[in-house]
Amino acid sequence: MSAEAGEEQVVGDDWTAPAGSWASSAANRRSMLGNRSRDTSPELALRSLVHRAGLRYRVAAKPIKGMRRTADLLFRPVRVAVFVDGCFWHGCPEHFVPPKTNPEYWREKIGRNVARDRDTDARLAAQDWLVLRFWEHEDPAACADLVKQAVDGRRHHQRPARQSTPDIPADGAAREVG
């Protein structure tokens, strides 16, 4: 049951939901509004370990200009985007439990989140980005190791080995250095 724009939806005897609200109670609304979209505990743990490993990155940055999605950690020079997905919001196959209240809304909402994740992965891969996704319940140390391996691997892959070559003057004729 949705409210029309500008109307309030009455739920229970003593609480009135704002117009268009998904909240089934004041406590539910407070809880959901308190959820962080960045700087979550799993994300902070991963960032700390990755930083300690000597890697530097952008936080909550857009990998592609104009894309309305942000990666939790972004290594722009080597095109690695890291996402730490929450089990509830991203539909973890091990831990997601659909809410009993308003189940249709939540099924659709989580389904849209998962579809957006797959779309993000595809759009980034199409532009030669490596996407790493971790669940919030995964061991941060193991995730940090995988991030370091990926970034280091891409750094070494992108940088060709330096070779000694003759100086080539503007006329294009090679001459020996010596």
Question: pLDDT tens across 30-75, in order?
Answer: 655 555 567 899 999 999 999 999 999 999 999 999 999 999 999 9
If residue 11 lies in a helix (H) or strand (E), which one and from where to where?
strand 9-11
Q: What value, to the nearest 5°, has the Cα angle with vertex 19 and ends 17 and 20?
A: 100
Tell me if 51 is assigned to some domain. Answer: yes
The answer as to whether 141 is a domain residue is yes
Q: Which domain does 64 fall in, by range?
A: 37-156
Q: Which CATH number goes with the domain that contains 120?
A: 3.40.960.10
- Residue 118 maps to a domain: yes
| Cα-based distances in Å from 139 to 22, 26, 178 | 33, 34, 55
Q: What's the number of domains the chain is made of?
A: 1
Q: pLDDT tens across 80-135, in order?
A: 999 999 999 999 999 999 989 889 999 999 999 999 999 999 999 999 999 999 99
Closest CA to 140 of 93, 96, 84: 84
- pLDDT value of position 157: 84
d(CA 122, CA 128): 10
